[in-house]
Chain A
């Protein structure tokens, strides 16, 4: 089978089940693609030998009743993988080999898949362009010199370049949806608590959530079903019955009420983004959905709130990197304190240090009320905006990002302009809601653009259904030329 790797995950699973291809041949096809795509720099670590062993084991004794039978998967290097190096894109974890497996990856393996490699990402998931990784920039397969988005930039690049049939990322402020939008792929940030955070390198614990990145909505449903579920080891994991998202996928959205928030039309937004939003509204309307104008009045305060809450939580979470128990230790430092200071200075990159300093400052004595407490109050207002709107609607449609993928280096000198990338994605994390980024079109340069569907808490099935209907009627096809191999 020649073009197996450009098929969707669902098609590949069918080919495995009908024995048109073996897991071993499938794995070999991905390894070949990965080896010829070094220019993209999507991988930090590859686990080919281990993957081929697992594939052979599967072929010897196949179990086709699993959700991911014999499927090789590469995952973001933020998920701890037992006995496989996990760096979080940081120098401070350049030699860290976990002795345990994250719950989310364990769930994937328990459903029949196995690890193909670890994907590059912004350092500790702090970034919107994959330019903060210690392991170098990742290139967007859409075009040389374009960023793949971030922080799950290795994930979006590898997926769009056919280096993995599907993947997973983490989303603290947009880190799944923005890279999905930049690469013409599907990305879902689930409701906070749906996927376990156990074994994921922590960034901001009240915002972090793992989710699938895939080529199609059906694939997204399969991956979400495989990775989600209650976990005792995560104190904020939601204890509820497991859903069968892929089996329950329906494309009938007649009568659903879709909210259109006026605050998501921002200054200097390219006309193409606005046009795409209009196109999205029309598609949903033609499918029988009802469009309703809504207001989310505190939207503009979401990013400033995020840049207090997220760094504050990060400064606490990253206090553990001290050069004592694991990770990098500086060779300098005469005493313990100096060893800590040098280790953290040499181990962390500039963006991570900036955020630790912001977080330390906003939590420090005398400033807590002015910043952190204030942000927690505004976060309440942002959540209330959504709660009020969702009393009269089923889902919200917005653009995913204010622009398509930008050039490497274009925004690195101005942190605030980089942060503005996440203007449409951040409010969802603050309110703990699920949101899906759908590939919907291209701008005049031919670069992909996405639309975002936001759902009520735990209403993943509904936004997947809307996405499914949208996908069938949108006519978007991700046409990426393999210029890198």
Chain B
């Protein structure tokens, strides 16, 4: 299969990345060569193979549902590009 420009723009939209129109052609070329490489996997019949879902052959540990930290609002907000006292600030989302 091959990826066309429209498909790539759609995927970029899903990934929330705006793509510069001037770069779409080279991106299309690169992604198609990568997918051609990836699609070597189609040579293999994997109908009877179970997918590998856990690499450690162990289930994830559960822990007690306890609060282990807190009162770190300032620390959490410290790196925010835009904040207003206790809140992260984003462009207006409701009219």
Q: Which residues does A use to contact B, with CB under 8 Å? A: 95-97, 99, 192-193, 206, 232, 235-236, 238-239, 298, 300-301, 303-305, 307-308, 315, 319, 322-329, 333-342, 344-345, 348, 353-354, 356-358, 360-361, 364, 371, 373-381, 383, 414-416, 419, 431-432
* Least distance between A416 CB and chain B CB atoms (Å): 5
Complex: how many Å from CA A305 to CA B55?
15
Nearest 10 CB-CB pairings of A with B: A376-B51, A326-B79, A329-B81, A341-B18, A377-B46, A380-B52, A99-B75, A360-B15, A377-B49, A345-B18
Q: Find out whether the CB atom of A236 lies under 8 angstroms from the CB atom of B17.
A: no
Question: How far does the alpha carbon of A339 sit from the alpha carbon of B93 in the complex, in Å?
Answer: 11
Quick one: CB contact mask for B42-66 with A, threshold 8 Å, 1 for yes? 1010100111110110001101000
Are A378's CB and B46's CB within 8 A?
yes
**Cβ B34 vs Cβ A324 within 8 A:** no
Partner of A315, one of B15, B33, B78, B91: B15
Contact bitstring B19-50, A, C-beta under 8 A = 1, else 0: 11000000100110111011111101010011
The SS class assigned to the B binding surface is loop
| Chain B, residue nearest A191 (CB) | B56
**Would you call A324 and B91 a contact (CB within 8 A)?**
no
In the bound complex, residues from chain B placing their C-beta under 8 Å from that of A378 are 41, 44, 46, 49
A96 surroundings in chain B (CB, below 8 A): 79
Contact of A304 with B52 in the complex, beta carbons under 8 Å: no
State whether A348 and B37 are in contact (beta carbons under 8 Å apart), knowing that A377-B51, A380-B51 are contacts in the complex.
no
**Cα distance, A345 to B9, chains bound together (Å):** 13
* Nearest B residue (CB) for A307: B38
Q: Is the CB of B16 within 8 A of A340?
A: yes
Chain B residues within 8 Å of A, Cβ to Cβ = 3, 8, 11-12, 14-20, 27, 30-31, 33-35, 37-42, 44, 46, 49-53, 55-56, 60-61, 63, 72, 75-76, 78-82, 88, 90-93
User: Closest residue to B1 on the A side, CB-wise?
Assistant: A370
Contact A376 B53 (CB under 8 A): yes
CB of A334, distance to nearest CB on chain B (Å): 7
Closest Cβ of chain A to B21, distance in Å, is 12
Contact B30 A415 (CB under 8 A): yes
- Is A381 touching B33 in the complex (CB atoms < 8 A)? no
Smallest Cβ-Cβ distance to A365: which chain B residue: B14
Measured between alpha carbons, how far is A358 from B33 in the docked complex, in Å? 12
Instruction: Select one of B15, B34, B37, B44 contacting A381, CB under 8 A.
Output: B44
Complex CA distance for A371 and B35, rounded to whole angstroms: 10
Chain B's closest residue to A433 (CB) is B55
Inter-chain contacts of A414 with B (CB < 8 A):
33
Given A344-B16, A345-B19, A357–B49 Cβ distance below 8 Å? no
- Among B41, B63, B75: residue with most chain A CB under 10 A: B41
Let me know if B31 and A357 touch, CB within 8 A.
yes
Residue of B nearest to A99 (CB): B75
Given contacts A236-B56, A416-B33, contact A336 B90 (CB under 8 A): yes
Chain A residue contacts of B30, Cβ below 8 A: 354, 415
When distances are taken between beta carbons in the complex, the residues of chain A under 8 Å from B19 are 345, 353
Out of B17, B53, B72, B90, name the residue touching A353 (CB < 8 Å): B17
Taking the nearest CB of chain A, how far is it from the CB of B88, in angstroms?
5
| A325, A360, A380: the one within 8 Å of B49 (CB) | A380
**Contact, CB under 8 Å: B44 / A345:** no
User: Would B34 and A301 count as touching, CB distance under 8 A?
Assistant: no
**Bound form: Cα–Cα A432–B42 in Å:** 24
Q: A192 near B56 (CB under 8 angstroms)?
A: yes
Does B88 contact A206, Cβ atoms closer than 8 Å?
Answer: no
Q: Are A344 and B17 in contact (CB under 8 A)?
A: yes
B8→A324 contact, CB < 8 A = no
> With A and B bound together, what is the CA distance between A354 and B38 in angstroms?
14
CB distance from B22 to the nearest CB of A (A): 13
Give Cα A188–Cα B50 distance, bound, in whole angstroms: 30
A337 to B13, CA, bound (A): 10
Q: Is the pair A376, B52 in contact by a Cβ cutoff of 8 Å? A: yes
Which of B3, B39, B53, B82 is A304 in contact with, Cβ under 8 Å? B39
- Chain B nearest CB from A159 CB (Å) reads 29
| CB-contact partner of A345 in B14, B20, B46, B75, under 8 A | B20
Distance (Å) between the CB of A199 and the closest chain B CB? 14
Contact of B31 among A327, A335, A354, A381 (CB under 8 A): A354
> Is B11 touching A357 in the complex (CB atoms < 8 A)?
yes
Q: Could you tell me if A358 and B49 are in contact, using CB atoms closer than 8 angstroms? A: no
Contact, CB under 8 Å: B46 / A354:
no
Chain B residues within 8 Å of A99, by CB? 72, 75-76, 78-79
